[in-house]
Structures are given as structure tokens and as C-alpha cells.
Structure 1
Amino acid sequence: MVEVVTPEDVAGRIGLTTPLTTQQRSILQAAIRSGLAAVTAHLHVSPVPRQVTERGLLPSGDVWPVTHEPLVEILSVTAETVDGVPTGAYTVVYTTGLDPDADPAYRDVLAEYVVAHAAAMPHVLRLAPGTRRVKSSSLEGQSVSYEGDPQAGSGAAGAPPSLASLSYWRRLGVSQDPGIAPHPLDEAGQTWR
């Protein structure tokens, strides 16, 4: 699997010193997975290549009718048999998803979003001392207010990117019920007034 963001990348963003402890690494990896899950939901496709195995595929010329797209690479094709007799169907192992290694612009935008997402998570912020900046304090009133980070996608200096920054790579789904629709000029079943 392509590693777009490492726990060390997130640690650097929040000012956490390295090397990381096992607990810190685990928390940062979970935050990175959360960022990648948000990207997957937004793009409607895996943001990094992942391996898929499909069974019972019948070739259509030089094309394999795989379920998941975009197809990155076919890893193996194995003829299926029953009691040693070929069935005509095949098991296809392939990788699918977007490939950050093939598109440096996508890789940069994806990495920036995932690092910002992970670094903004409350349980990640608790790992680094001094991640909250004091905006104002009062001695007698015993109050402290902290600077808020700019909202994601606000365009303000230092603001983390929003999911909209990845919209260029978003895949929209289109579907149609199976069967043949009636011809638009077919008068059968229409009532004319």
C-alpha cells in the first residue's frame, strides 16, 4: 500500500518530538486512517491503491469486467476449475483506487489534507504539549481564552484545507435500472390529452 502520510509527518505538524512511543504512533496512525476514510467518503473511491480479488469473472474480449474502478493494475488471473475441469470463469486479483505516486499534484493535496485532518483531532492535540496558544488571560478573573485555529477551507493563513480541495479527483456515480427504457416516441402506455 502507498504510504502518503506517516505518523512522523503528523508529529512534526503538532510539534511532537520523535522518536515516537508505541502509544503515540498508534494514536497518530488511527488519526491518519480517519483522514483517509473521510477522503474515501468524499471521493467515492479509495484514495490510495488497494488490492481486490474477484471470482467468477468472464472476460469480454481484452477487458475484465471488474467491479471496482479505477483499475490500477491486474496482478494475477487464474482460471477457475471444478474437479479439474475449467469453468470458463476466472479469479482476478487487481489493485484499484487513485494512485498518488502517478499524480504528484494529487499526492501533495491528499497528504496536506490528511496531515491537517489528523493534526486537528483532539486526541492527537493532547499528545503535544503547548499546542493551545493563549489569546488572553486575566489574573483576578481567573479566565484564559485560547486562539482558535482558522476553520478548514476558510482561506485564512494557516487554515487547513477542506475536503473540497480534493474535489477535482472526485468520482461521481451514475446508474440506470437494468433493462431497456421505452423509446421516447413510443405511444404505448401514454395518455394524450
Structure 2
Amino acid sequence: MEVVDPDKVAVRAGLPLPLSPGHRAAVEEAIEDALAQVASHISQSPIPERYTERHVWPDGSGGWALEYGPLIEVESAVAETDPGGRSTGAYTVTYRAGLDPCEDRTYGRVLRRFVAWAAANSPIVARFAQDVPGARIRVSESVEGQSATYESPKASAPGSAGADPTIEDLNPWRRITAYQRPGIAPHPMDSGLPWWS
């Protein structure tokens, strides 16, 4: 699934179209990096992916206890057998899961905006953009008395129209997970600690 068109990233970055193979590869890598950053932030796949899990047991209500979500569709569930050919009761389940920017249009707009911005501003894409004649240079330097003043776009106030997107814009889709060891925790009175600790 293509979340952001590399040509749109190129326009944002100031790269000439059509993209050369080297520039296209750099932009596609920057898009992958941005998607990885989103996945890390929201703790789930930002786009639908296919997963296969072995030794999955039905949950009793006709569903499956699968590791990844949100579930989009179960593609297949194949009964597993032991070496003698008898059913084990477990299944190998192939399914698609993850947030879907095509189904959730609000999420899709926020995701595309962040990914396009992050990819266009990635160091490798920015380096290619610096080499384009007439491109705005975004770095200032001073060496041995020689200095250059570079034009920089005026930033909009955070949250206003035209402001740069941030990874926090994706917080509404962030999955917060908690882990508790299996079993029942001891009652606080049985822990041996004073109740005020």
C-alpha cells in the first residue's frame, strides 16, 4: 500500500520531476523511515499488513486471540495436525491487521501529512534538494571568517493552519498497552507490606 506518492514528497522537498532513480530510491527510503517512526509511536502497524500465526486456539465465541490488531480480515484458518494426522485443535491463521488509512479518512489525512513532511525533511532527501540549482538552502555555516546566510521559511505557530505536522498529531491512534503476569496478584494485606507503603 502506497501511503504517500514519492512525487508529492519530491515537490515538497524541491526536487525536480520526474525523479531520477537515485532520487526516487532516497524518497522511498525516507517514506519507509517515516512509517517506521509512526509505527514506533503508535505501537501498531500504521498500514494494513499480512500476518501468519501458528498454534492459535479458537476463543470459544467463534473468534481468534490474535497478536496483532486491529483485525481487518482473517484470510485463512488451517487446522493443525500432529505427526499422526490427528487434529490438535489449534490452527494456523493468516490475517490482515493494522490501521487502515483508506477506511479511516481522518487518520489517513493525518498519516499522509506527517509522512510526506517527515520524508521531505529527512537528511538524505534534503541533501539531494540542496544540489538542485536555485533551491533554498536550509543550513547556515561559518568557517574561518567566511559565512553564508541562508533563507529559512517562517514557521507557523503550532496547531495553526500551515504549521509543520508533528508525531504527536497521531496520538489519537496510539495504542497504550499494559502487561500483567498471568495469575492473580496477591491481596495487598497478604504482601507483608504496611498498607501505607
TM above 0.5, yes or no, is yes
Matched, 1:109 2:113: no
Equivalent position SS for 1:146? coil
- Give the SS at the match of 1:113: helix
* Equivalent residues in 2 for 1:113-192, closer than 5 Å: 113-128=114-129, 129=132, 130-133=134-137, 143-149=147-153, 154-155=158-159, 158-184=162-188, 187-190=189-192
| Structure 1 residue identity aligned to 2:177 | G
- String of CA shifts for 1:26-81, please: whole Å, max 9, x gaps: 10010000100110111011100111100011101212011112112111111112
Change (3 A) 1:190 1:125: closer
- The 3 A distance-change label for structure 1 pair 118 and 4 is same
- 8 Å CA contact 1:56, 1:89 repeated in 2: yes
Using the alignment, how far apart are the partners of 1:95 and 1:182 within structure 2? Answer: 38
Letter paired with 2:51: V
Gaps of 5+ in 1: none
The alignment of Structure 1 onto Structure 2 pairs a total of residues equal to 186
Q: Percent identity?
A: 44
Residues 47-58 of structure 1 mapped to structure 2, 5 A cutoff: 47-58=46-57
CA-atom RMSD, angstroms? 2.7
Counterpart-to-counterpart distance in 2, 1:135 and 1:189: 59
1:45 equivalenced with 2:44 (yes/no): yes
Q: How does 1:12-91 map to 2 (within 5 A)?
A: 12-61=11-60, 62-83=62-83, 84-91=85-92
Displacement of 1:92: 0.3
* 1:12 CA drift (Å): 1.6
Q: Which runs of 5+ in 2 are unaligned?
A: none
The runs of 4+ residues in structure 1 deviating greater than 6 Å are: none
Secondary structure (helix, strand or coil) at the match of 2:128 reads coil
Q: 8 Å contact 1:32–1:114 — kept in the other structure?
A: yes
Deviation readout 1:57-116 (Å, 9 max, x if unpaired): 110121201111211211111111234322211000011111101111110110000010
Q: Which amino acid aligns with 1:190?
A: G
**1:18 to partner: Cα distance:** 2.2
Distance 2:103 2:51 in 1: 19
How many Å separate the matches in 2 of 1:96 and 1:35?
Answer: 19
